Amino acid sequence: MTGLTIPRLGDARGLTTALARTGLALVAFLLTYQDPTALWLSVLEVMGFGGGATMTAASSVIMLSAPEEQAGMAASVQEVSFDMGAP
């Protein structure tokens, strides 16, 4: 889904939208964590999709902004940053 929205919205707006979706889901989880299990599990599902969309958008932005001759270096920096928990 993120792969379809980035060409339409642009890199920055696509990444911002994915981060906003994740942030709103986090706020919703904080407001519903004591409610019935089905409710907060659905909020966690939305948060998971938002996190996945953020990782996809960040990966796209990183790889598309690097010059072709430095694509390997950009991929390694991207992988290390994801491993360290920085999308």
HSE-up of residue 80 (Cα within 13 Å, Cβ side): 6
**What pTM was estimated for this model as a whole?**
0.74
Domain range for 36: 2-83
- Under 8 Å between Cβ of 44 and 29: yes
pLDDT, one tens digit per residue, over 64-79 is 888 888 888 888 888 8
Number of structural domains (the chain) is: 1
Please list, in sequence order, all residues whose beta carbon lies within 8 angstroms of the beta carbon of residue 49, skipping any fewer than 6 positions away: 21
Distance CA 66, CA 42 (A): 37
Distance CA 86, CA 2 (A): 18
pLDDT at residue 28 tops 90: yes
pLDDT, one tens digit per residue, over 32-49 is 888 898 998 999 999 998
Q: What is the dihedral of CA 24, 29, 32, 36, to 10 degrees?
A: 130
Helices (H) and strands (E) in the chain, counts: 4, 0
